[in-house]
Every structure is written in structure tokens, then in C-alpha cells.
Amino acid sequence: MKDILILGIETSCDETAASVVKNGRTVLSNIISSQIALHTLYGGVVPEIASRKHIEKINPVIRQALSEASVTLDDIDAVGVTYGPGLVGALLVGVAEAKAIAYAKKLPLVGVHHIEGHVSANYIEHPDLEPPFLCLIVSGGHTHLVIVKDYGVFEILGRTRDDAAGEAFDKVARAIGLGYPGGPKIDKVSKEGNADAIQFPKGKVADSPYDFSFSGVKSAVLNYLNSMNMQGKPVSQADVAASFQKSVVEVLVEHTMQAAGDFKMKKVAIAGGVASNSALRNAMEEACRKRGFSFYRPSPIFCTDNGAMIGAAAYYEFIKGTRHGWDLNAVPSLRLGERI
């Protein structure tokens, strides 16, 4: 069978990314131009700056993705692009670029749901992984526990009621003075802290065993900081980070294991930016090992936003026959499983 090469484009937030992916699983190139340094100045992503930077970077990033894969646009079979959810101005840059390339080269255009991309990152390094499996999706904007019933087909078991896991990491990092981006910084500083130093509440939701709530943990951290401050006591950044991380990781693992047991899922995967968290990876791996489940997780470079995951997801949409027209638009609040 002829190989299918997809050009995957991702611009939903603060990374301008493009990749060439063969048959949905083999990454020929994966170029990511991160804007993190720029947004760090402002303590978070500034949407207008993100859009402008995407416009500046998108062509060079795509050119580099093609050249590192040793291909030209003539070798590409379809263009896959994230069209939601995300920042509207940022998404529009990728969507317009993908449409222009597909139109000029008479190629099929495949719009991809960003979260479907995150889940599909697992296919890249695990050739044996096929649906159905359970997946915990933890990113800066989303926290979902889903059964991946088939490629691109999801049953949502639970989700966050308030903050996403990554958002909680980012807010707590800011509160303890670590700055943006919070997740990786908390991960790093936690290694020097005592995770049992402070008892923060777990992000559980009464009567909803698979849902999450992280705003309470975040408030507990803020209250702890205030009370230490008022008593004139010193705060250990590393202990707060490690204790907060422990409370988030525990609830993520507990709910995932509960769902895996209840739904008899023997394969468990994690996806999204927070899936690169070392404590989460270790705890989930250990919990799966104890129960005899197979555990799957992308390498950290495929956990945070990238074009390869979009190329992988686009491939499975492409072979199912998904095609978008020239009227494809950015959909900032596209729901998982929704097709527009």
C-alpha cells in the first residue's frame, strides 16, 4: 500500500508547529517554534502577540518541517490542521495557512480537534496501541477522562468542573513566585521538596467519581501562603510545589484507575501538556503495573503542543474520509467529538 504523508499544522496557543507524519505513526519531522520566552514577560499567553508571532513563524516552520523530512509539498497527500479549541486569532493563522497550501496544491484538507491530536500523540511511539483504551487528557485548557472507542471516537466519562489541571499548575506556580510556564517549573522544584509537608485537599467532586475540581486545591494553596505570611513564617517553595503536585497527581491517578476498573479497560494512556509531568508519569505507571494494565504515554516533546500529534490524528480522520471545505473556520470552543 502506498505511504500516506500528512503535513500537520498546529497554532492553537503559543507554539507554531508543523510536522510531516507517515501513515499516522512515523514522524519524519517535528518543528516547534515556542513563544514561551516572549509570553513569560507578561506572566502568561497574550493572545494578540501569539497570533502575530504565528504569522511570522508559520512559513519558516513549515518549510523546515518539509526539508527535515526530505520531502516537498508534491509528496504530501493531505494537510491536517488544528481548527479548535484554542485562541481564535492563533487558530486562524494555522487554518488559513492550511487552506492556502491545500488549495494551491489541490490537496485534501483535514481539520483536527486539538484534544484528539493530544490523544493521537500516543500512536506515534506505541505502534501496538489501538483503540479501545482509557485516556486521561490533562492540558492547560482541558482535563478529560475518556474512553477512546475508536480512532477519533470518544466517550467522555469525566471532566473538570472548574480549572484544568495545567491551569492549576500555572496559577499555583505564579502564587509561589515560580512564574510562567508553571507546570514544568513546579515539576522541577518539587524534586527538592517534601510532598508530605502540607496536606492540600484532593480535587474530587461528590457523587461524580470521574470528575475533577482543582479550584479548591488552588485556593487551599493561596490560603496557606496567606496564613504563613500573616504569621511571619517562611514558606518553602519546594514543599508547597511538591505537596500541591502530589494532591493533583493522586486524584488524577485514583480517578483513572477507578474508571479503568469500572469499564474493564486494560490499556491506559495519558495525553496533553501535564502528561509530561514526571510525578504523574511515575505514579500512573506504578498504579498500572500493580493492576496489570498496559500504560502508554508520549515522550514529553509529543505531550506539549506539536504538529506531529495533529498529523497523526489527521491521518486517522483522512482514512475515514473526513474532508473539510474551503469554508473551514477556527472554532475556539470546539467540543471533543464535535464535528463541524
Q: What residue ranges bind ligand KG4 (CB under 6 A)?
A: 13, 118, 139-141, 166, 169-170, 181-184, 187, 272-274, 276-277, 304-305
Strands 15-22 and 109-113: unpaired
The C-alpha cell of 234 is what?
A: 517562611
322 binds, options ligand KG4, Zn ion, none, Cβ within 5 to 8 A by partner type: none
The listed partner (Zn ion, ligand KG4, none) that binds 276, CB under 5 to 8 Å by sort, is ligand KG4
Shortest Cβ 233–ligand KG4 spacing (Å): 27
In the complex, what is the shortest distance from the CB of residue 93 to ligand KG4, in angstroms, rounded to a whole number?
16
- Contact assessment for residue 306 and residue 15, using Cβ atoms and an 8 Å cutoff: yes
Cα(81)–Cα(240) distance, integer angstroms: 39
Torsion-angle region of residue 43: left (phi > 0), alpha (psi -120 to 50) or beta?
Answer: left
CB of 203 to ligand KG4, least distance (A): 14
Please tell me whether the peptide bond between 85 and the residue prior to it is cis, using omega within 30 degrees of 0: yes
Measured from the CB of residue 275, what is the shortest distance to ligand KG4 in angstroms?
8
Rule CB under 5 A: say whether 160 interacts with Zn ion.
no
Quote the least distance from Cβ 166 to ligand KG4, whole Å. 3
- Nearer Cβ to ligand KG4 (62/90): 90
141 binds, options Zn ion, ligand KG4, none, Cβ within 5 to 8 A by partner type: ligand KG4
Selected range binding Zn ion among 24-32, 42-50, 283-291, 298-306, rule: CB under 5 A: 298-306
183/203 with CB nearer Zn ion: 183
Does 139 contact Zn ion by CB under 5 A? yes
How many DSSP H helices and E strands does the chain contain?
A: 11, 10
For the chain, list the strands marked E by DSSP.
5-10, 15-22, 26-34, 78-84, 109-113, 133-138, 143-150, 153-159, 267-271, 294-296
Residue 205, number of CB atoms within 10 A of its CB: 18
Which stretches of the chain bind Zn ion, using CB under 5 A? 139, 305
